[in-house]
Amino acid sequence: KAAKEKAAAEKAAAAKAARAAEAAAHTKQGLVDYMITRVDDTRAVISEGGKCVTGKGAPATYSSDYDWTGVFDSPIQPGCGVQLLTIEVVRTRGSKSGTCGMISPSEKRLNLCLCGQGQSVGLSSGGYICVRGKWLDERVCGFKADDCLEMKVDTDAQFPQVEISVNGEHACRLGVDWGWCFAVSGAWGESAAFRVLLPPVAEAAGSAYTAAEDNPCNRLLLKLAQCMPFETVDEVPWDTEQPYFYFVPRAVVLACTSASLPPMQSLRAAGLLKRKTIEIAAAYRGEGLVKKVLFVSHRWEKPGAPDSTGAQLKAIQDHLKANPKLDFVWFDYSCMPQRESESIDGRSAKEKREFELMLRSIADLYLTSKVLIILDNTYMTRFWTLMEAWCSMMTVTSQGVRSASEAEQRYSIVCIHNADNEFGVPKLIKMLLTKTPNKVANMLASPDVQVTNAKDKETLLPVVRRIDDHVREVLLTA
């Protein structure tokens, strides 16, 4: 027994020395090294640069003001065999009322929450890492007692990235969406640890993120805040006559070097989206912002990846270069809050509500803006693409809608993949251009017109059928 205890102590001491050496090396590189190490079932130690900053095993307190790091114990269910703590880093914009998106202790997770609400990268209670519904490779899935999970933040990339390694071995590299939430759980041994490495950050002059006192929690919070800029989502009342939408500025689209446009949460996190209000009556008259906006009608090629090859992004960029008066782009994946996967929806209640409201008003924008139709061979079988294309081929009058003349044409069609300009383009135009609202609604209701969410047909078909009445009402009351 004594020999085993001695061996265990030597192992723990060696692990501690190795990690202290790593911390010293990180300090030389200019990296900020924070380590959270388990002491027992209810206590942990936070180290900064290899030095203990919370006192040996002293549990830190959690601030109800949501403006600093807290460590507190999580109740353990009898017989579950999992030792957990909860660790949070949240940030607010100088307000005590900011949302922290906190994981409650009853959910039994060790949680490092960066930026409050957002997408999650986390170990489930079974000790595996799940990223937006997809399991990572075996090097990560085998996270065990005494393992060290390390996440290194890289802000040099076009969009923030996180490098994940286990016990010093690279596991994966992840793009970070709006808000970071790293949840860690599993069997924590005596030396098990969770580390966050941050690049050196220059103090921002006049930063809104100020620490109330000089402590490691606030220092970590401040550095995270400086590393991860994002645009707050202010509460804006929804007005059906003047709805707001999010747009990607022309310069951002043209400068994008990634394989495809990023999801909305990533763009908003980087402060690259613009929220604009559009007066529907003015749009019907061809006035205002709609003259500078390009709406993109395209088919999603894969769930969670509408542009799997980058062909759509190239088509959008080419169109913008040919049309210098277009200042903003609306691309659904990049301009509406997205789910993490088909089975996981990490959106807040507010984001879901925002999504539904924008969805109901979207036909008005396709009826009035410039529209780029990105045509592939399955475009003409999908509900949303056909509805968008039909709207783009109509023009608004005081009596409702009618087919647009050549001089009134707002749409452009570009073929990608196996679509053919000679046959595909005239076929689409012939299918839609002369149809009345009732006729196009009947066509869209057909079972051979596919839709991912059947509820979309139920919601939108009545909108299409009464579109003439809607247009007349808007113009009459304007």
pLDDT tens column, 30-52: 554 555 554 544 444 555 555 54
pLDDT of residue 351: 80
List pLDDT tens digits, range 71-93.
Answer: 322 222 222 222 222 233 222 22
Three-state SS across 330-352? ECHHHHCCCCCCCCCCCCCHHHH
Question: Using only C-alpha atoms, what is the Rg of the chain?
Answer: 26
List pLDDT tens digits, range 311-336.
Answer: 999 999 999 999 999 999 999 999 99
358: nearest Cα among 299, 280, 474, 263: 280
- CA–CA distance from 265 to each of 54, 180, 273, 379 (Å)? 34, 11, 9, 26
pLDDT band at 159 (very low <50, low <70, confident <90, very high): very low
pLDDT band at 409 (very low <50, low <70, confident <90, very high): very high
DSSP 254-289: HH--SSSPPPHHHHHHTT--EEEE--HHHHHTT-GG
Query: Left if phi > 0, otherwise alpha if psi is -120 to 50, otherwise beta: which for 315?
Result: alpha
DSSP-derived letter for residue 446 is: S
The whole-chain average pLDDT of the chain stands at 67
List pLDDT tens digits, range 441-454.
Answer: 999 999 999 998 88
Sequence-separated contacts (24+) of 43-52 with Cβ below 8 Å? 43/73, 43/85, 44/71, 44/85, 44/87, 46/71, 46/216, 46/217, 47/23, 48/216, 48/219, 48/220, 49/23, 49/24, 50/19, 50/20, 50/22, 50/23, 50/24
Mean pLDDT of 298-307: 90
Q: What are the phi and psi torsion angles at 84 (to 5°)? A: -130, 150
**Terminal-residue alpha carbon distance, the chain:** 86
pLDDT of residue 35: 55
H or E segment and range at residue 171:
strand 169-175
List pLDDT tens digits, range 347-379.
Answer: 777 788 888 888 888 889 999 999 999 999 999
Round to whole Å and give the CA distance between 414 and 122.
40
Half-sphere exposure of 426 (CA within 13 A, CB side): 2
State CA 436 to chain mean position distance.
38
Residue in the structure block whose two tokens are 């509460």 = 235
